[in-house]
Structure formats: C-alpha cells, structure tokens
Amino acid sequence: MRRLLCLLLLVLALPASAAGLLDTRPSTTLGSINNSADFLPVREAFQLSLVDSTPQSIKLRFVATEGYYLYRHRFQFRADPADVSLGAAQLPPGEKKHDEYFGDVEVYHGILDVELPRTDQRAFTLAVTYQGCADKGLCYPPETERLSIDGSSDSVGSSGATSKNWSWRELALFFLAGLGLTFTPCVLPMLPILSGVVLRGQVGGVRGFNLSLAYVLPMAACFALLGALMGMFGAQLNLQARLQSAWVLVPFAMFFAVFALAMFGVFELKLPQAISSRLDRIAGRTEGGSLWGAAVLGVVSSLLVSPCVSAPLAGALLYISASGDALGGGLKLFMLGLGMGAPLLLVATGGAAWLPKSGPWLVYVKNAIGVLLLGLAIGLLSRVLPGQITLLLIGLLAGGVGLFMGALEFVYKPPRKRLGQLLGMFLLFYALACWYGAFSGQTDPLNPIGQSRVVADNTQDASDWQTVNTPSDLDRVLADAQSSGTPLLLDWYADWCISCKVIEHEVLNDAKVVERLKGYRLIRFDITASNAEQRALLDRYKLFGPPALMFFGKDGVERADVRVIGEINATDFAERVAKANDRI
C-alpha cells in the first residue's frame, strides 16, 4: 500500500507542476459551464501593463491567466491625438491553431511582450485593443485599455510589470514532486547512511530534529538559488513568448527526451569529475553531529545530486526558465528541496519505520519519471507538429509502456504482475486506437478514434432563428414572447466566437435538442459589433461574452438555474433543455 501511495504521489505531482509550460488548448468536448463565477472578468483574465517607455520604443506586457489566450490578429494600437506617429507593433509568432470554422489563427498563452517603435516624443494616450477567449469555451468581446505615455525621455522601468506566476497549489505540487524523487533507487537506500553521517546516532528529540533541519534548509536554499537564477535567465530571454517558436520548442523537447533516457539508465547525468571529487573531499572532512557541519553537508549534497534526481531537476529548471519568474522559481525549487528532505526529518524524529523499504519497486518509480519526461517532450512538440503526428507519438509512448509492462508476455505470472500486464494491454489497445485515429485524420488523444456525425432529418432550419443586435429589439422580442405565453431560448452569438460556431453547428442542430426545443421562440443576439449598447446589455445580464444560452419561461422570466455559459456538448444541452421544460 505504501508503494502504491508513493507511485500515485509521483505521477500526480510531476505532470501538474509542468502545467504552466504545457498550456492546454480549447476543447470542443467540454461539458456545460453554468455560471459566470467560472470565468474571470476580462481585465483579470488578461492583464496589460506598461513595461518601459523610451524615446525610441514602448514596451507592453500582456499576461494571460492560465486557461485563457489572446488572438494575434485582434491587436490594435492607436495614439490619441491621432497625429502622434507610431511604428508597426512587433509581435512574436503565436501558437498556431487550426479551427474547423475559422481556419488557421495564432494565439498567445502566458506572457506576451509587445514593442511599439516610437518616433514622436510628445506625451499621448495609447489605446490598446485586444481580444481573447477562455479554454473552457467563452470568448470575450474586444477590450480597449488606455495608457498614458509620458513625453519625457525617462524610462518607466519594468518594475510595474512584475506578475505572480506561482500559486500555493504549485508550491504544494513541487513539494510532492520532491518527496516523490526521494523514492528512487539512488536516493532512498542512502537515507540511513545520510542520517548516520548527519545525526551521528542522535536520533529523536529536539536535537535530532534541529540537526536534520540544519541539513535540509541549506540544501533547499541552494535549490532555491538555482531556481531564482533560472527564472531571471528566462525573464531576460522572454522564453515564455519565445516558446511559441519551433526553434525553442524542439530543443526543449530534446532536452526532456535526453533526461528521460538518463532515467532509463542509458547514461548518467552528473557533475564533472574534477568538481565532484573536490566536493566529495569537502564532505569527507565535514564532521556530522553539529549544526554547522549538517549545514555544510546540506549545501554539498544539493550539488552532488544523484543521477536519479539530476534529470528531473534539470527538467524543472527548464520549466522555471520558461516561466521567467525569479521569485516563483526560487520558491518552487525551495519546496522541491523541502520535499526531498522531508523523509530525513522523519528519520531524525524516530519515524523511520514509516518509510517504505528499498526494493525492486524503486526501479519502477525511476522508469515512471522517465515516461513522464517523455510525455512532457511530446506535449511541447504538439505545439509545432500536426495533430495526427502528435497522436502517433502519444500512441508510440503508450505502446512502449504497455510492452514494458508485459502486455504480450503470455506466461504464468503472480497476481500482482498479472494486474500490471492487464494495464499494459489496455495501454497497448489505446496505442492502437491512437494510430488508427491518426491515420484517419483524428487529433484528439482523449477521443482518438472519433465518432461519425449523423445528420438528422429534423435539424434546425436557419429560418427558425430570429437574429437581433440591439437592446431595443431584444426587449421587444422578449415582450412579444411574454404576451403570447411562448417560452424563448436566447443564444448570444458573435462572428469572432469559435465556441458560438461549435454550438450553432453541433449542438443546436442535434436531433434530440431540436425535438426538445419544439414550441420555443428561438432568438439569436448578435454581439459581433461589440458596441457600447451591446456591452451594457452584457452587464445587464451579468455576462462576460458569448457564447451563452438563456431560457425564458412563458411568463417572460429567465430560468437562471438552467442558464448555460461557455461551450457545451449536445448531450448535456439536451438534458438542460429537458430540465428547462420541467420549469416552463
């Protein structure tokens, strides 16, 4: 049971810690999102700040919150007064995204720096227009912010652009990742030896705890220093924005693949012999049993990490460098070090009996880390490779793991290994599904085979829908439906809303949805223009943007409990219509 718990901690911690690097893209298979609290206001989802203003250029920074993205083609920059001259905005290449209804677009996740060449030294107001969406399926109307640009030649400085790129959840996940790294064949067997050197037999009590803490804290502090340096390095290169380029993504993916090979035992990652031998001599001359000696051993140990730790540690450093956050990087690796040192604290306080015993299962933990690193490499490559190729690589990884777990070894095995073989057969079956889907044009790893779309005879006719685009027209339609005692469905739509197209073609035309909407008056409010009147209407109904689907009863009152905000699939919406029918 303890072994299973360790494996679960490792598998859950490492992928989640890399979520900021492998931002997911919008899915068209999400379930319903039914209240505005699930989405941030537009200026919280997308934070704009003035980084620097010089006589030559203006530098702006956009920070898209995790789960949100900005469109490259929707940026506009205007000066007020209009005779102030600005050069063309310098935007880095975006993440390429193909949409079934909109074609090829480019989007930005995370941090985006934009530079505007400047030739006029007068003070002016810069109007910045941008537009973005949430991965969960909500598109915001175009938003305009105004920034005051000083006419002096003094630089604004970059301090105002500092953003918090970490959360307590991330710190906890790094702690769990560090704890998981302890349960590797290179580290766990060393705990008794290490405790003997540091504690010198002083196990238990306040003295033992203080000695182990004096060892763990300096070790974690060294990790934190490495994290802060990598965060500063990444911020100077703006790797978050550059990660949209294949010239950066491919080398990063190769690094993760190399780290994975190290975890599989192909070779060892370690310091050069000249440096490691000198550190070994320092450690050998250091006496344990004292707080100072324990601290020195902690610093040396952080530099002499074992091959089982160095590969995941290098991967974590790459991830932190991409975030460009020195403070967050330092805190994350500090928590990683604390996690690695937690078992030693347990040993020092007399709790060694709670630790799992060494055994062959440690090799499986090491191999599992290697598989996760390969998964991260594929995730990076997915941004520049066609979806079918990514699906092939995912299938290759799943099939390899399945074969390693003995999927095709049809010989007698004890019950525990038979369970592993069953899991391996499932992974092999999933790999075959991925390969079949890739050659069939599918791209979704969660649904590799895909499903055929059956066009029903009773789909909605376009004439069944009445389109309005002004608040007065909408009020009139709602009043007419109320006076005639007709239930009404209101669909908030815009031409620039990808999810609106998905709902229009795949949800509202579904046979079951059409059947259940019989008797409704179908109204579509077109907010494409996104003018002041339409924005005021969004505020009236407490909406951030399309898509949204609202049900009004025969009495003209909205049934707020069945309101749908964001993208939804046909099955879930049909259930929502049935629920609405019970209340209308």
Give the pLDDT confidence of 492-504 residue by residue, as tens digits. Answer: 998 888 888 888 8
Question: Which residues are 148's β-sheet partners?
Answer: 125
CATH topology of domain 462-583: Glutaredoxin (3.40.30)
Class in CATH terms, 42-161? mainly beta
Give kind and range of the element (H or E) at residue 107.
strand 103-108
* Better pLDDT: 202 or 195: 195
Residue 156's pLDDT is 41
Q: What proportion of the chain, given as a percentage, has pLDDT over 70?
A: 70
The helix, strand and coil proportions of the chain, stated in percent and rounded to the nearest 5, come to 50, 15, 35
Residue 162's pLDDT is 41
Per-residue pLDDT at 202 exceeds 90: no
What is the reported pTM? 0.45
* Better pLDDT: 295 or 552: 552
DSSP state of 440: T
Half-sphere exposure of 462 (CA within 13 A, CB side): 1
Per-residue pLDDT at 477 exceeds 90: yes
* Better pLDDT: 19 or 502: 502
Sort strands 521-526 and 488-493 into parallel, antiparallel or unpaired: parallel
For residue 443, how far is the Cα from the chain centroid?
Answer: 19
* Better pLDDT: 516 or 235: 516
Tell me the mean pLDDT in the region 69-87.
Answer: 86
Residue 94's pLDDT is 85
Mean pLDDT lowest among 212-216, 521-525, 547-551, 558-562: 212-216
Name the phi and psi angles at 532, rounded to 5.
-60, -40
User: With bands split at pLDDT 50, 70 and 90, how would you rate the model's confidence at 472?
Assistant: very high
- d(C-alpha 461, C-alpha 51), whole Å: 51
Q: Which two tokens stand for residue 540?
A: 């009236």
Residue 491's pLDDT is 94
- d(C-alpha 191, C-alpha 470), whole Å: 71
Per-residue pLDDT at 284 exceeds 80: no
Q: Where are the domains of the chain?
A: 2-21+165-387, 42-161, 462-583
- d(C-alpha 338, C-alpha 330), whole Å: 12
Give the pLDDT confidence of 25-42 residue by residue, as tens digits. Answer: 334 333 344 455 667 888
| Average pLDDT score, the chain | 76
Name the phi and psi angles at 451, rounded to 5.
-145, 140
| CB distance 308 to 186 below 8 Å | yes
Give the pLDDT confidence of 110-144 residue by residue, as tens digits. Answer: 888 898 888 777 888 899 999 988 887 788 888 88
Per-residue pLDDT at 582 exceeds 60: yes
Tell me the mean pLDDT in the region 454-479.
Answer: 75
